[in-house]
Amino acid sequence: MRLTNLSLGIALGLLTSVSAFAAEGVSTKRLHPKAAEFEFEGPFGTYDRGALQRGYQVYKEVCAACHAANLLSFRNLAEPGGPGFTEAQARALATAAKIPAEPNDKGETTDDKGTPLMRSATLADRFPSPYPNENAARASNSGALPPDLSLIVKAREGEAHYVYSILTGFHEKAPAGFKVTEGKYFNPYFEGWNITMPPPLTENGVTYSDGTKATIDQQAHDVVTFLAWAAEPKMEERKRMGFGVMVFLIVLAGLLFAAYRKVWKDAH
């Protein structure tokens, strides 16, 4: 189902891009995001645990090389409504990550050779950032700043569909007459069509431990699910509570309507 929609989306996308191109020369307005399907959509949608765990792997092995996610801590990985790692698993993931250490007993932050002191992260620590500061990030990325991914899904028009379309939109061919800027990549879902980010996902670029085939679409679906959770970690709690609230309010409205009818019976 997802794949059918996807191909339909690509076909439509190409059609619109061609017609837009024909109509007014080179219009580099971004295409409408693809109509991908995610388990977390709809009033009863929840995050797919498997997708969250696989998505974390894609984030860690691929995205985190350039992107920070400053609002996330390792403890979040074991919190309810999240990827569903056990506390021990989350702690192991934290321990494997190295982050800049606090000043040691002598007040030093580097060793004798000037290398920054590092330590293992704990559950309380935030995810490590790939660059020490913005300038370093820009210097490594042809002047562009890889945005922080903590809120990326909520910070873009089109939300999850937008991020998914960006990740899977690289293989499309630039229309004749559109010249891709030197050092950039063609992506029709990105405003201006020139994106500095190189295609991040490759077929089997990650190896899933649960046997899921790591196609580009699958990786994109998984990492977008993970990023959607990162942006809205309380979504499941929100929808669950919302259901209870709605039932309560509808029953209350029914009772009040009965009371209203009774009180007003002879008044009009």
Partner 1 sequence: MSGPSTYNPKSGLERWIDARLPLPRLLHDTVHTFPTPRNLNIWYTFGGILAFCLGVQIVTGITLAMHYVANANLAFNSVETIMRDVNYGWLIRYIHANGASMFFLAVYIHMFRGLYYGSYKAPRELLWIIGVLIYLLMMATAFFGYVLPWGQMSFWGATVITNLFSAIPVVGSHIATWLWGDFAVGDATLNRFFSLHYLLPFIIAGVVVLHIWALHVPGNNNPLGIDVKSPQDTVPFHPYYTVKDAFYLVLFVILFAAFVFYSPDFFGNPDNYQPANPLVTPPEIVPEWYLLPFYAMLRSIPSKLLGVLVMGGAIVTLVFIPWLDTSRVRSCRFRPLMKQFFWGLVVCCVLLGYCGAQSVDAVKFGIPMVWVARIASIYYFAFFWLIMPIIGLIETPKKLPASIAQSVLGDKAAAPAE
Q: Pairing mode, if any, of strands 194-195 and 185-186?
A: antiparallel
Applying CB under 8 A, among 15, 18, 96, 253 the residue interacting with partner 1 is: 253
Q: Is 233 in the site for partner 1 (CB under 8 A)?
A: yes
Kindly report the number of other CB atoms within 10 A of residue 197's CB atom: 19
- The smaller minimum CB distance to partner 1, of residues 113 and 268, is found at 268
Candidates 32-40, 60-68, 206-214, 256-264: pick the segment binding partner 1 (CB under 8 A). Answer: 256-264
Specify the residue, 189 or 219, whose C-beta has the smaller distance to partner 1.
189
Helix axes 2-24, 216-231, angle to 10 degrees: 90
Token pair belonging to 226:
């993970």
Least distance in angstroms from the C-beta of 48 to partner 1: 19
Kindly give, in sequence order, each residue whose CB lies less than 8 Å from that of residue 70, ignoring residues fewer than 6 positions away: 126, 127, 129, 148, 150
250 lies in the binding site for partner 1 (CB under 8 A) = yes
Stretch that binds partner 1, among 32-40, 92-100, 220-228, 244-252 (CB under 8 A): 244-252
| 92 near partner 1, rule: CB under 8 A | no
Contact yes or no for 127/69 (Cβ under 8 A): yes
Q: Does residue number 259 form part of the binding site for partner 1 (CB under 8 A)?
A: yes
CB 237 → partner 1: shortest distance, Å?
A: 8
Candidates 101-109, 114-122, 202-210, 227-235; binding stretch for partner 1 (CB under 8 A)? 227-235
Beta strands in the chain (DSSP E): 98-100, 118-120, 185-186, 194-195
**How many angstroms separate the CA atoms of 2 and 217, rounded?**
10
User: Contact with partner 1 (CB under 8 A): which of 27, 156, 199, 236?
Assistant: 156
Residue showing tokens 């990023």: 227
Q: Which position among 100, 116, 198, 242 is part of the footprint of partner 1 (CB under 8 A)?
A: 242
* 246 binds partner 1 per the rule CB under 8 A: yes
Q: Whole-number minimum distance, CB 247 to partner 1, in Å? A: 11
DSSP 162-215: HHHHHHH-TTSPPPTTPPPPTT-EE-TTSTTSEESS-----TTSS--TT-----
Per the DSSP assignment, residues forming a β-bridge with 186 are 194
Helices 216-231/159-168 angle, 10° precision: 150
Residue among 25 and 264 whose Cβ is closer to partner 1: 264
Quick note: the x/- pattern for partner 1 over 173-192, rule CB under 8 A, is ------------------x-
Positions in the binding site for partner 1 (CB under 8 A)? 43, 71, 76, 147, 150-151, 154-157, 159, 191, 231, 233-234, 237-239, 241-243, 245-246, 249-250, 252-253, 256-257, 259-260, 263-264, 267-268
